[in-house]
Structure 1
């Protein structure tokens, strides 16, 4: 996997380094088209929003549900609620004056990430993926490529299984209610509960909990259900994968992880410092389009990552990463 975080000397915008342009002074001169779009709804996006707020950088975060707006309740940026679509996105970008995109959505939220990348290419808007670090998998953890690989007799038949893959995935398990004993962990909301019941889960098989969940809470839950297996997503520490692996080892429960989808991001980092540098460059370009193009080198650790070039994207490397 190509890892932008490990590289040294990444300079996304040399003009900013030499001129020491501060975000506040840039925005004071021209507030039009000076907003960063944070593709949000995650704890990662809150960290980005908090960092940009501290740097006096205007931002608008997008989330799909009203409940997710609470992530930014104490921060000064704008929050837009509701699903975006190809037909509505151009108006959003224009109305908000978007000059750069920081995608901090969930690693499995492929639809919005794909839409954001397409918009960046079509409208020549700089895009950066803020990717949460992966958690090393234990030798005993089974990694499956997708849900189709999971929905097989050898994985589910006759077992007591807890699903922690999100309420949107539960419809996939409808044919398995008579072939396995399934429980589902969902968010403590009426909407999630209704979706789970519609997917065939009786109320007594639903566990309403909101992350983060402690190691002791996780262990007590698994023990109370006498589980054979737990299914999760490989969504990093934020999704509790490290805790699940520890509990699985302690209790001898099989842990099955669904791999992150493979997406091609124009530029990617795990560093908030790189996010801030990227945003400064976006603001400088909005103020002075001739200030230069994005640039940077990317360390590659295997043949899984290779560079592409596109005339419609800024002059930085495209990475194809296994996320």
Structure 2
């Protein structure tokens, strides 16, 4: 029986686990950063591996035949560990990464390379909608002028901005709902990561319709030489062609 390890936590990872044919051992690994994750079918393990060396040891011990990195586009550390572990063990690695968002007419995007640069970009704003996740709030903790509306799945932990309200929610979101949210809180600027996909894209449409500024954090680069596909269908085609059938 061939073993496929999916490094998950995304909708694409769950759909891939569900779509793989019977007769495979499919194991999905979750980082454990969300208290109540949406679980995929098949085997699930939760928690870190202990870096690239720990992941390499797991691949060997579990006789993994192929690794699919279907983590969030901003999970740079995990993607780097996966590439290193795959190179060390000789286990093939496939990266499933959804395309980023594309700027459209009417958008007022300002692209920045990382969260500290995003904090610089909104330092002079008054009311900011921050949708970059609870892990990166420390980059904004020193800002005293803006009031932040922070949306995350789980409650954020310090350090956080001194003037902040938290909205606990999970997508998908609608344009009507996002528009009402931006209006009700008198938001001036939206900060988001270029995560791509349809789960949270409605906020960009709402910001465009309202003429709001968007600070867009660019993705970290993928490990060099990674075999990358943009969709679950392309990942299935690659895996089936590689013999995972």
TM-score relative to the length of structure 1: 0.68
CA contact (8 A) 1:36 1:279 kept: no
Pick the aligned partner of 1:157 from 114, 118, 124. Answer: 124
Distance across 1 between alignment mates of 2:29 and 2:64:
12
Cα offsets for 1:220-274 (capped at 9, x unmatched): 1111110110101111124523x12211122222111101111235201124343
- 1:111 equivalenced with 2:77 (yes/no): yes
Matched residue of 1:219: which SS?
A: helix
Matched residue of 1:98: which SS?
A: coil
Q: Which runs of 5+ in 1 are unaligned?
A: 1-30, 285-323
Provide the residue aligned with 2:18 in structure 1. 50
Change (3 A) 1:194 1:166: closer
Change (3 A) 1:261 1:210: same
Change (3 A) 1:250 1:167: same
Provide the residue aligned with 2:27 in structure 1. 60
- 1:259 equivalenced with 2:224 (yes/no): no
Q: Which structure 2 residues correspond to residues 128-277 of structure 1 after superposition, within 5 A?
A: 128-138=94-104, 139-152=107-120, 154-176=121-143, 178-187=144-153, 192-195=154-157, 198-201=158-161, 205-241=165-201, 243-263=202-222, 264-277=224-237
Greater mean deviation of Cα atoms: 101-110 or 91-100:
91-100
CA contact (8 A) 1:248 1:255 kept: yes
Matched residue of 2:91: which SS?
A: coil
Runs of 4+ with deviation above 6 angstroms: none
Greater helix share, 1 or 2?
1
Pick the aligned partner of 1:81 from 33, 46, 51. Answer: 46
Cα offsets for 1:23-82 (capped at 9, x unmatched): xxxxxxxx3xx2011010111101110111x4542211100127465321xx2x211100
CA contact (8 A) 1:129 1:265 kept: no
Provide the residue aligned with 1:321 in structure 2. none
- 1:91 equivalenced with 2:50 (yes/no): no
TM-score relative to the length of structure 2: 0.89
Provide the residue aligned with 2:89 in structure 1. 123
Shift in Å, 1:91 = 3.0
Change (3 A) 1:247 1:69: closer
Q: Name which structure has the greater RCO, CA cutoff 8 Å, separation 6+.
A: 1
Shift in Å, 1:159 = 1.9
Asked which structure has the greater CA Rg, the reply is 1
Shift in Å, 1:111 = 0.6
Q: Which runs of 5+ in 2 are unaligned?
A: none
Distance across 2 between alignment mates of 1:250 and 1:281:
44
After superposition, the CA RMSD in angstroms is: 2.3
Distance across 2 between alignment mates of 1:267 and 1:175:
39
Greater mean deviation of Cα atoms: 99-108 or 156-165:
156-165
Greater strand share, 1 or 2?
2
